[in-house]
Amino acid sequence: MKEKAKAFAEKAHQGQYRKITKTPYITHPIRVGEILEEAGCSDELISAGYLHDVVEDTQYEIENIEELFGTKIAEFVASHTEDKSKTWKERKQHTINILRDADKEVKYLIVADRLDNIMEFEKDLHELGPKVWGYFNAGYEDQKWYNESMIKNMSVGLNRDDIPSFFTTFEQTVLRVFRKENQ
């Protein structure tokens, strides 16, 4: 299942590139899947990690995911698919609300995605400096609000034993990225 999901994501994201580095976009979903695999998550959740941006960023619909990968994986993907008709702030507030109230597997998927994005952003920030903020729909203050809100809500409702180590990595990375000198 995981290899099928990875191959499907590679096909779906073919020709897409990251905003700043222009590396193939598929590197992001693959790393999200790897974060989830390293944390010992289920094959279904790892598969959703590979597929998490397919509905949001390609021509495929959630029905395609359900048909090919089943209801559980489709539900994971749907839980983390943004409605692009809404403003950036509305989309991010929705994600924060989902994160706060979600079960642990959905939380894992959302935080793994944010972790990979913020780690890539940190690399770009070191290479290019504060001008990287200009590549995104929201600047420093809005991005700071979003990421700090994610930290505040990611562990809500989880038992201590259910919090994976990558949550700590996410929090530490956010703190580094949003230091005053990186504005």
Q: Is the CATH number of domain 2-182 3.40.1710.10? A: no
Question: Residue 180: pLDDT above 80?
Answer: no
Q: What is the mean pLDDT of the chain?
A: 93
Q: Provide mean pLDDT across the span 54-79.
A: 95
Question: Residue 181: pLDDT above 70?
Answer: no
Domain ranges of the chain: 2-182
pLDDT at 183 (0 to 100) = 58
Comparing CA positions, the residue from 72, 96, 69, 70 lying closest to residue 82 is 96
pLDDT tens, residue by residue, 8-46:
999 999 999 988 888 999 999 999 999 999 999 999 999
Please name the residues in contact with 140: beta carbons below 8 A apart, sequence gap of 6 or more.
Answer: 130, 133, 178, 182, 183
pLDDT tens, residue by residue, 36-59:
999 999 999 999 999 999 999 999
CA atoms in the 13 A half-sphere facing the CB of 128: 14
The Cα 173–Cα 148 span in angstroms is: 11
pLDDT at 84 (0 to 100) = 85
pTM: 0.94
pLDDT tens, residue by residue, 108-139:
999 999 999 999 999 999 988 888 888 887 88
- Whether the CA torsion 145, 112, 166, 45 is positive or negative: it is positive
User: Which residues are marked as active site?
Assistant: 56-57
Number of H helices, E strands in the chain: 10, 0
Name the least confident of 71-75, 125-129, 166-170: 125-129
Tell me which DSSP letter residue 85 carries. Answer: T
Q: Which residues pair with 24 in a beta bridge?
A: 17
The Cα 148–Cα 154 span in angstroms is: 10
